[in-house]
Structure formats: structure tokens, C-alpha cells
A and B are shown apart, each in its own frame.
Chain A
Amino acid sequence: MQEYQFPNRPNFDLKFNPKMVYAALAALFLLWGASGIYVVQPAEMAVVFRFGKAVAQASPGLHYHFPTPIEDVEIESVSEVKRLEIGFRTISASPTPRYQKVAAEAVMLTGDENIADVELIVQYRIHDVENYFFKVREQSKAIHDVAEAALRQVIGQHTIDEALTEGKLQIQEEIQIQIQGVLDLYEMGVRIEQAKLQTVSVPQEVDFAFKDVASAREDRERLRNEAEAYQNDIIPRTRGEAEKMLREAEAYKVERVKRSQGDADRFLEVLKEYRKAKDVTETRLFLETMEKVLPGMQKFIVDTDGKGGLLNVLQMQKPSVGGN
């Protein structure tokens, strides 16, 4: 300083003033004190540590804590539903979501030693922020591990058909209970909101065989329906035919009875008159019939007392046809 002089040194009295030091110290102290102001956003919770020990929780709003290192604060979002994925990862969210398969997580053995391809989504929420902070390291990995183990454990207790179809709801429920049970053992302060099976399928290698079962089931229904259609078509027709046969028979009966009655009535009427004059009537009826019958006939009156009478008739007939 004494040997070297800056050429353009500002003309500023740098006389050491103790007051400036006090002021600077005071300013630093104030700044330090002000560093304890913090904001907890809605849906967040804060835990205040005093010398490393949790002493208070703070809800959303503007707060103050004694500055570090006396007090410290950690803030975590709690009402937000967190989500983890097993068997796949969402690479980009909507509007054009893209997913990546994680086969190592998704492909697993079922209870009947089949292999299924299962994807699971677990949604959870922190309900005890202190436990969440203090009990477990790498919480999300812990939850992921627990969920993966639970998924396989539960799928392992069900057959592939249950997992593919009617057992899904029950499986989801069991997975949720299983995860919650283990997390409670860990005292994680986390509540599982939902465990949801995303897709349950079979590996590509056997996909066709499974689809064929579905189409076979449809074939079964189709065959049955076709037969029922046949039944529904032919039975009413037959009933109609049967009804027709019965009615025809009844018609026949009526006809027979009525006709016979008619015949009988006619006969009786005639008989009544006949009885009044038997011989005359008999003769008359006979002659009337002859009158009706004989005109249309070819008649030969032959005296058959002699021999060959009939032969003569035939001979007579021939020339009359051939000659003339």
C-alpha cells in the first residue's frame, strides 16, 4: 500500500469506522434472522426441527422459524395423490401419452403355474408426515418394492383365469390390503388410496391360444343358438300342423254324422210313404230307376232260353261296328 499507489484511486475517505462494522454485523444478523421466514403452500405440510428434533408441524401459510442452525424446516406435499407404476412407465403424459413396458416387473407366475403379464398402478397419499420423514429412507423405492412383492404374492394365489376375468376386483383389493399391511409394519405414514390392475394379459407366445378359447366359447353359444333357432322354427309349425290334423278329423266326423243323418232321414221319409202303399211304391221306384238307368245303356234283349244266346249278341254287335 505504501509502495504502490493506484492512479485513479477514488477520492473516498476510508477511515476505519467501528460503527460501520457494527452496522454490517447488525445487517447480517437481520438477514440471518429473516432467513427463517417460509411459506407452506396449500396441500403441503411442514415439519420444524429445532437442533434436529422435530418440534412442530406447520400447515399452509406464512410462517417463521428460528434461523439455521437453530431451527430448520422441511416441506412435503401431502394431499397430493402420488402414483407409482409397476410393469410399465409413463414416458410422457397426455395429450399423447407414451408408455414403456417393463417386462421384468410385469411377467409373473400365477397360482396355477401359468405366466401372466400384469400392470399395476398404485395411488397413495401421505397421512402422517412425521412418520413419512423419519421412519424409512427412500420412501418411494420402499413403496415400489412393497407393491411389487404384494402384486406377485397375490397373483401367485390366484389362477390365471381369475386374474384375466372375474377375479380382478378381488385381486386389486387383496393387493391394496397387502401393501397397506406391510407399509403399516414399516410405519411409513402412507395410506394406499387405490391399487388398480391396469392390464392383465398373457404373453404373446400364448396369446392366440387364449383368444381361441374365447372364440370357442362364442362358438358354443352360436351352435346352441342355431339349434334353438331350429327348434323355435319347427315346433310352432308342427303344432299348427297337428292342430290342422285334428280339425280335419273333426270336420270328417261332422260330415260323416251329418251325412248319415241325412241319409237316414231321407230313408225314413221314404219308408214312411212306402209303408202307406208298399207294392205300388216298390214298383214305382223300380220303374223310375229303370227309366233313369236304361236310356244310356246299350241293351240287348235276348231270349236266353235257347243255347248260344249270348254268343249271338256278340256276333250281332260286331258287324254293326265294323260295317255300315
Chain B
Amino acid sequence: MRGVITLVVLLVAMAVLADSAMFIVDEREQVVVTQLGEPVDTIREPGLNYKIPFIQQLHIFDDRLLYSDAEPAQIYTQDKKNLIVDNYARWRIVDPLQFLVSVQSVAQAQSRLDDIIYSAIREELGQRTLVEIVSTHRQAIMDTVTVRSRASAISLGIEILDVRIKRADLPRENKANVFDRMKAERSRTAKEYRAEGEEAATKIRAETDLDVTRLTSEAFQNAQLTRGEGDAEALRIYAEAFQQDPKFYEFVRTLEAYEKTLTTGTTIVLPPSSDFFKYLGKYRSR
């Protein structure tokens, strides 16, 4: 009976002692042990550890990458433009003792870091133009800010891994200007497209008209040439034939002309002395 009670009491006592004397450091944690407020040990490796109960205290810190995400802030660029910048930083506690001494808690650290980063950002962005921040030098700017903030934060036992600009936007009241400019740019492009269309169409039509004129006049030229050849050939043939007896040709052709011109209804006055009537006269005079 007494043995049983002793066993139970012993177990409970062991558990209480174990709980206050032993502690587990997780893979994701690091611990500073203080003795009556005086730091005595820093444990960064995970595993089972011991401490003097009640006299030594534990200060457990995260060993992972932490972040601070400050409120978006308004800054002025070098070309006097207003930007709303939202940045974040990823950092970790690399010296827990230093961290404990200088900032005590993560919440404290956050606000210190916000100040450090904001001033680095403002300083750097103030020397840059809007285009550099948004477009061309974004990475370089973030690198510079990271390096500068890192140098300031190391005294807090903090290593800043990177500072990144999450957003860099124009304030609402500046957007209207951008929209106006965008509209103007687009309308310029639209006009250009339509004018290009007109240009192409006019060109094609003019070329077409030119082609039409060229085709018809070339055809006319060739046709006239052909006709001329025909005329010349005909002339040659006529001349060759008629050359054989020009007098006869004249005679025959005159007769032909008579036939054509002296048509029905034509009035003709003939003297009796004409060749045609030469026998008539003879007859009369007989």
C-alpha cells in the first residue's frame, strides 16, 4: 500500500521536475537561456536540453524566415512624381542573444525594421525616376535597399534576406492623368491605322487605274500598229496590181465610181455630142 502511494508520488514529482528542468527545442526554434535575467546560453540546435528549474528562464524565438509587411507609404520620386509603395521584407533572427537584448520581441523588431526599411526605401526611391522604379531599375533598387537595410538591422541580431517592392502604384488622383494619356495614345494609334488603311486603299486604286490605262493604251497602240500593217499591206497589194496598167486602172475605177455615185434619181444633163450619143447624132444627121 505504501509502495503504491510512493510510486505515484514519485512519478508525479518526476514529471514536475522533468517539465521544469528539461525542455525541447524544436527544429523551428532557437532559445536563449537566462539566469536571473543574465543570459547564460544560446541553443540553436534542436533537441532535448536541461536547465536549472525556477532559476533559469527560456526565451524562445522563431528560427524561420519571418516577414514584415509595412503599410503602403507615399514617396516622391526624383522626377517629382507621387508613388504609393508597398514593400515587404523577409528576415530571420541570426543572433538570438543580440535580438533579446536589443528588441526583446518580434513585434518590437517589426516596428524597428519598418523604420529602417522605410528610410532606406525613401532615400533610394527619392533618387530615382518613376520609370526606373517601375520598370528599368526595380531589381537594382531592391538590391540597394536590401543591402542598406541589412547593414542597419544586423545590430539587432537580425539578418534581412531581402526587401522587395510589392506594389508601386500611382495614387488615385494621378490615375486620371494616366488614363487621359492612354486614351490619347490609343486614339493616335487608331487614327494611324485608319489612315494607313486609306493610304493602302488609295494606292491600290490608283495603281489599278494606272494599270487599266496602261493596258488599254498598250492594246490601242498594238491594235493601231496591226491596223496600220493591214493598211500598208493592202496598199502594197493594190499598188502592185494597179501598177501593171495605171491607165486601165483609172478607167475601171472611174466606171466603178460612176456606178456608185450615179445612183437612181440622179439628174444628169448630157450633150448629144457626148461619146455615148455619138451614134445618136450620126443617126439624126443622116
Q: Residues of A with Cβ closer than 8 Å to B?
A: 16, 18, 21-22, 49, 51-54, 69, 104, 107-111, 113-115, 133-138, 141-142, 145-146, 148-149, 152-153, 156-157, 160, 182, 185-186, 202-203, 205-206, 209-210, 212-213, 215-217, 219-224, 226-228, 230-231, 234-235, 238-239, 241-243, 245-246, 248-250, 252-257, 259-261, 263-265, 267-268, 270-271, 274-275, 282, 285-286, 289-290, 292-294, 296-305, 310, 313
Contact = CB atoms under 8 A, between A and B. Distances in A.
A135 B210 CA distance: 77
Contacts of B203: 227
A43 to B, nearest CB: 23
B54 interface: no
Q: In which size bucket is the chain B interface?
A: 35 or more
B48 interface: yes
Contact of B265 (A142, A152, A215, A298): A298
Contacts of B168: 109, 152, 156
Nearest to B87: A149
B207 A231 contact: yes
Most buried by A among B26, B27, B47: B27
A137 to B, nearest CB: 4
A202 B182 contact: yes
Contacts of A53: 27, 45-47
Interface of B: 1, 3-4, 8, 24-29, 45-48, 62-67, 69, 88, 90, 130-131, 134-136, 138-139, 161-162, 164-170, 175-176, 178-179, 181-183, 185-187, 189-194, 196-198, 200-205, 207-208, 211-212, 215-216, 218-220, 222-227, 229-231, 233-235, 237-238, 240-242, 244-245, 248-249, 251-252, 255, 258-259, 262-273, 276-277
Majority DSSP secondary structure for residues of B touching A: helix
Contacts of B251: 282, 285
Contact of B169 (A108, A270, A290): A108
A215 B185 CA distance: 15
10 contacts: A16-B1, A51-B24, A51-B48, A111-B135, A223-B197, A242-B218, A264-B242, A297-B262, A297-B267, A298-B266
